[in-house]
Amino acid sequence: MTETQHRASGTTAPAPESTIKTMTMAGAINAGLRAAMERDPKVLLMGEDIGALGGVFRVTDGLHKDFGDARVMDTPLAESGIVGTAIGMSMRGYRPVVEIQFDGFIFPAFNQITTQLAKMHYRSHGRIEVPVVIRVPFAGGIGAVEHHSESIEALFAHTAGLRLVSPANPQDAYDMIQQSIFSPDPVLFLEPKARYWDKGDVDTAAVRTRLDGATATADLGRARIARTGSDVTLVAYGPTMRTAMQAAEVAASEGTSVEVVDLRSISPLDFTTVIRSAKRTGRVVVVHEAPTLHGVGAEIAARVSEEAFYHLHAPVLRVGGFHTPYPGAKFEHDYLPTLDRVLDAVDRVAKH
């Protein structure tokens, strides 16, 4: 029956169901996991308390009830064993998604990740794929106790064979968790835990046509311009993106046009997007919560200096954590890159 016939008969044609929904970042990851599990029965979830409890942050809430013990598995408190098991399962054709409960708990699995997971494809001359996703709530800002607020990205980004990505909004969280799962490469999926409750619109249909392996991998490594500008390029990812956007707003009110680049992928880095922006603005500031010493920002600063040197009006500046252990909750504000610290860096480069 056509819409005209519906109207003539006094009935109303059902409106098409909207694919755009408002979600928190945690809810978007949950929805992305659900979509991936519905798409492929070989997608399995593993982790501590992810089953009936739904995880510490409730990111896997409801999935155990709907998919059962065989696909949503509570594991012993043994991160090395969890990752090792996931590696073996991936070699048998499964796509395990591992949750590390907190960032600081990943170190017992460091050997499995860096010497086994990252190298299996290379060692086998490309014959073996290990499509394991390791979900890691990371970074600070929630007032947690020791070992619960770490920025681990540089430790793993130095290891060839691993992908590291970090979403900064619910739409990317929904898209990127599925792209990670269907990528042939092992992926560390770094979830900024202080952003879990940020809300945004999510188009649940947008990612469906991009989930074949090659396209998913290409999209997964691509940065995005979150805000256009002409005076300063501000590069951030994951937990610091909200601060970067706030800094751009304040700077604009003071007459400085700031372009914000959301890296999205930490390894590989989309240098093409960053350098193109650097050449347009001539000034670059990189922001991350991890210590600036030996950090991701240092690699970006070096590459920008190499490839855009004659376009720069000022040195590339970095704003990040300090070279100390992550402090107690009362001192987080002194450690994390605050709005004032980011604006100070923007002002410094803008003066040149």
Question: CB–CB of 307/300 below 8 Å?
Answer: no
Distance CA 289, CA 127 (A): 37
Distance of CA 340 to the CA centre of its chain: 24
- Cβ count near 4 (within 10 Å): 9
Strand 199-203 vs strand 317-321: parallel, antiparallel, or unpaired?
unpaired
Eight-state DSSP code of residue 14: P
What CA–CA distance (Å, rounded) separates 194 from 140?
7
Tokens read off for 243: 């601060």
- Residue in the structure block whose two tokens are 């399995």: 44
Active site residues: 148
* Tokens at 122, concatenated: 């290379």
Report the 10 Å Cβ neighbour count for 92.
Answer: 7
Amino acid at 11: T
User: How, if at all, do strands 284-291 and 317-321 pair?
Assistant: parallel
Please state, in angstroms and rounded to a whole number, the distance separating the CA atoms of residues 29 and 172: 9
Query: Residue 341: what residue type?
Result: R
240, 292 contact by CB (below 8 A): no
Provide CB contacts within 8 A for 174, sequence distance 6+: 23, 28, 29, 31, 32, 35, 202, 204, 207
Neighbours of 286 (CB within 10 A): 29
Strand ranges for 182-335 from DSSP E: 187-192, 199-203, 224-227, 232-236, 258-262, 265-267, 284-291, 317-321
